[in-house]
Structure 1
Amino acid sequence: MINQIAISGFRSLRDITIELERLTVVTGANGSGKSSLYRSLRLLADVAQGRVIRSLAEDGGLQSTLWAGPESFGREVKAGRHAVEGTRRKGPISLKLGFAGDDFGYAIDLGLPLPSSSMFSLDPEIKSETVWMGSAPTRSSIMAERRGPSVRIRGETGAWRQAFQTLAPVDSMMTHCAEPTEAPELFVLRERMREWRFYEHFRTDREAAARRPQIGTHTPVLASDGADLAAAVQTILEIGGADDLREAVSDAFPGAEIEIDEAGGYFELRMRQHGLLRSLKAAELSDGTLRYLLLIAALLSPRPPELMILNEPESSLHPDLLPSLARLMAKASARSQIILVSHAPELITALEENASIKRIRLAKDFGETLAEEEDPARWTWPPR
């Protein structure tokens, strides 16, 4: 389980460390930084996929995503006796992301490139990366580290091995140095990060792929856009928890059942409801009903991830469905660690009735996102 996540220099997250539990709920007013927290977690996952540089470039580059305020706030500013002003920086301009669990920790530091004639001005550079064993990086716990273009990895005997001397500033050691024999800790951590799953704003409009027949193959993991819903449901029925699926559907829609039609290799989801003479195709279901079925397929995956992050799953759902969703999420948290980003009090209250949760409320102070009522967690950033 991941115990801590740390973000520094990303949008309104000037410097924040959050303690996590098995089921963590992040809430707060609009504009408090919930989306920034969710986006920063996606960036961490993008490191393992080799996409973090492109993802930042698509957001407008590092300059557009960096914390826009001063490096720090003095007491006079906090007390309202002095205006917020820029000061001479003590540290380098950087975006830092990290997490730590019971066994592994990882941190990455991205910075601005040196002035050059290159047209790739939106590409930030990876300045440093560190992987360690345990909860904090120490001289004895660090297993792999990257400083600029140089990467070294600690072997079984404790001796360091030079893995790279000229790693490009846009390439991560997670993708270029993770080998099952030469760097097993790095390899295991990368594969675990690649299995993190993010679900937000499933498409349920008339043209949504989930409403149309799709080629069916074994689908133990629902796609992030839910396009393979029918195949994911059939996979649960055949190799997953068929009884759990039927129970989840019945809990939300009493008397209803879902079934999958197959024609020429194409799968189509249908829903049979009490009182109707025929089953309804996915194309005929309401947006809320289809969205809830997508959540069922995600949360009952036959291949549960180590970490699942849900961003406002209550969108388009009728309030009557939120208690059922809470029960479904509580059951899923026994198999996966879950981070829920939500501002639906009904859903959060229902979750508290069904599981032990940790609630983190975000708020803004001088433009900075802070976790209310949270004691500052201890976190040490590895040096560049």
Structure 2
Amino acid sequence: MAPIRDSNRNLVLEVLRRNQPISRVEIARRSGLQRSTVSSIVDGLIEERWVREGSVVKTERGRRPTMLTMNDDLLLLVADIRPTKAILAVVDLNGRFLDRTVVPIIADPKQGVDLIAGGMRNLRSRFAGKTWEGVGISVPGRVNKVTHRLAWAPNLPWVGFDIRGTLQKALKVQVELENAANACLLSEVWFGHMEGIQNAVLVTIAEGVGAAAIVNGSLMEGAEGLAGELGHVPVSDSGPQCACGQVGCWEMFASCRAALRYFHDEMKGEGATTIQDLMNLGASGDEAARAALNRQAEWIGRGMRVVTAAFNPEMILFVGDITLRWDAVGPIIQAELTKRLVGGAQPRIVVLSDGEAARLRGAAAVLLKRHLSFRRTSAVR
């Protein structure tokens, strides 16, 4: 597809998705494209089953316009792979979740991917008669853009394994992989509210710390797709050794695992075993739990200096378990950010409270984004 037509197609899809149901004439008006151009693109999207025609609107005069919507019979399989589990879901083109399941993740990549494939086959069997566009995967690491394999994943021992190829062979559909933070940021671009934002950073706080950035309107990926590993930027010259092999990584002070470590150091191994346990204790008034979460928040805020100095973002988005207690930890993070700002206007803070949904929608957005850059020969039923 030629670059101009590719750009026009993306624009038509964006206008349609955000304003559906909408007519061809209205798409042309909102996009600024010629009506003939819009009609040609829409006809192609209907042929590909991305778009469907609906009702005809009555008008006082002239031709009656046919309304268009995204095709809710075209579905996507998505997965959010984490160090201990993979959350699988069925999503439609509007980002709605239709079904969900969880499978365990094990160290052996072949067995782990086979479990994911089995879970996806089970999900697909529940939607007889639907069309499947493909599979989108978010992973806790960086994906090499040439090999499409994990190139860096300190918390998942699957580096180098052909996740994409194995799943494509098992499921007979196209598979796309992306770093979880990148996926979440793409989700906000595709499904969220980032119109007009050209510079933004998304920070994920979970078992580790990840980041993604849009710089001057483009997703920052780096030469081999490894850009954005802010969790492994040193913020101290001491501390526990990170899974990456270094000491002093931001992840070791700001992640949810770090919060649990602070709590266990205080309580001598007693109490919370998950970050949800710790947050529940904190919400119920446990002082040790609150202190651990506050300490985590302070370190998250300290790392914001790296974020603001490196990217000068208009917006910083937070996603992950920490957002569930944002009422308590948010002011601490905000105060540290203000104190450590290098200069310029303070970025707007946006909290994505449902981190699981953000990652899964991100996996869908990765697949949609990749499909927007070329025309598929066919969809798979």
Q: TM-score range by the shorter chain?
A: under 0.3
Which has the larger strand fraction?
Answer: 1
Which has the larger helix fraction?
Answer: 2
Scaled by the length of structure 1, the TM-score of the pair is 0.27
Q: Which has the higher contact order (CA 8 A, sep 6+)?
A: 1
